[in-house]
Amino acid sequence: MKTSNPLYEFFPNLLDVSEITWADVVDKVDYDVCQGTWGYTNDCTDDVMMPTIVCEGYYLPESMAKVADEMYDLHDIDRCHLYVSFARQTQTYGRHNDTMDVVIVGAIGTVSYAFDDGEVVTVQPGDALYIPAGVYHDPASHTHRATLSFSREIVGDGDV
């Protein structure tokens, strides 16, 4: 059942992500590292384990491509990034907002998103969370995780 709030929309069990494996995640990370289309959220600090890895290349293993194709068909989006945390309590971007609408889909593990109104949404595999552009949110990993982030690429001065 969809949950709506002015800051987000949550769709539990929207997509079947059961075919996505850690081998697929490592394949995507390896490919994007070799292509130079990856990064990480923040530098390591004394109190935080390794940062979350962000894969931004266009290559997707078949299991992720199936989910992406379904999202592309359902919504007017054309980009899929993979966020990977190999350790619990991995550093994320912290509280931030995005310049475009995003749809977060849990693939492996659990991550929660805290919003400025005090609401917290926990995303499990197959759940989808829509966050409009400009809405502040603070992701927190609770387990090893792989999360797909879908958006529509913005070109130039904000024209799509």
34-89: per-residue pLDDT in tens?
A: 999 888 765 555 665 667 888 999 999 999 999 999 998 887 788 899 999 887 77
On the question of pLDDT at 2 being above 70, the answer is yes
In this predicted structure, what is the pLDDT of residue 159?
46
Give the number of other CB atoms < 10 A from CB of residue 24. 20
Burial 126-146 (b: 16+ CB within 10 A, else e): bbbbbbeeebebebbbeebbb
In this predicted structure, what is the pLDDT of residue 75?
78
Give the number of other CB atoms < 10 A from CB of residue 121. 21
pTM (predicted TM-score): 0.88
On the question of pLDDT at 134 being above 60, the answer is yes
pLDDT category of residue 146 using cuts at 50, 70 and 90: very high
What is the mean predicted confidence (pLDDT) over 97-108? 94
Rounded to the nearest integer, the mean pLDDT of the chain is 87
On the question of pLDDT at 155 being above 60, the answer is no
Hey, what CATH class is 3-151 in? mainly beta
pLDDT category of residue 118 using cuts at 50, 70 and 90: very high
Of 20-24, 92-96, 133-137, 142-146, least confident by mean pLDDT is: 92-96
Alpha carbon separation from 127 to 3, 50, 120, 146 (Å, rounded): 11, 25, 14, 12
On the question of pLDDT at 17 being above 60, the answer is yes
Rounded-to-integer distance, Cα 77 and Cα 135, Å: 18
